[in-house]
């Protein structure tokens, strides 16, 4: 089992992950607090437009990591996000199957040096 420091060092080895010099608000979203009407039309006849992600659904932690996404088109055109450790793992490195496969391929090509 690896310690948190070892896991962070492994994540920092990826070329698309950087540790931020200064703390920043996290761009992550707490998806368990997002209502359906935040994302889709709602109401009688679905006439009301989606409200958008509400402030209560945003992560309140401090971001210390920058992550360059593989496919930025569905992320409002933003190619880079700033994440706390939890969101770096869940919405970054393991955020999609394509991102996870990219990390796995990189780790296979660049094995960790043996001490």
The 10s digit of each residue's pLDDT in 86-99 is 999 998 888 888 88
| Contact between 31 and 53 (Cβ < 8 Å) | no
The pTM (predicted TM-score) of the whole model is 0.81
Q: What are phi and psi of 112, to 5 degrees?
A: -70, 135
Cα 79 to chain center, whole Å? Answer: 11
Regions of the chain with pLDDT less than 70: 71-78, 114-115
Nearest to 98 by CA among 70, 68, 78: 70
* 3-class SS of residue 54: coil
Plot region of 47 (φ>0 → left; ψ -120 to 50 → alpha; else → beta): alpha
The pLDDT value given to residue 80: 86
């Amino acid at each position: 089992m690896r310690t948190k420091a070892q896991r962070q060092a492994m994540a920092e080895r990826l070329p698309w992950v950087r540790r931020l010099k200064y703390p920043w608000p996290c761009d992550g979203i707490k998806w368990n607090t997002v209502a359906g009407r935040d994302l889709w039309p709602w109401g009688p006849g679905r006439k009301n437009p989606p409200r958008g992600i509400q402030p209560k659904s945003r992560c309140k932690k401090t971001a210390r990591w920058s992550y360059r996404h593989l496919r930025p088109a569905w992320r409002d055109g933003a190619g880079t996000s700033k994440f706390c450790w939890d969101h770096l793992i869940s919405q970054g490195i393991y955020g999609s199957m394509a991102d996870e496969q990219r990390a796995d391929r990189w780790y296979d090509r660049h094995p960790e040096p043996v001490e």
